Amino acid sequence: MGHSDLPRDSCGGVRRCGGNLLVANATQPSESAVRRNARAVSEFWATFRASRKMLNKKR
19 Cβ contact list (under 8 Å, min separation 6): 1, 3
Cis peptide before 29 (omega within 30 of 0): no
CB of 47 to other proteins, least distance (A): 4
Q: Which is nearer to other proteins, 6 or 30 (CB)?
A: 6
CB of 30 to other proteins, least distance (A): 14
Q: Footprint of other proteins on this chain (CB under 8 A)?
A: 1-7, 9-25, 27, 36-37, 39-41, 43-48, 50-52, 54-55, 57-58
Q: What are phi and psi of 2, to 5 degrees?
A: -60, 140
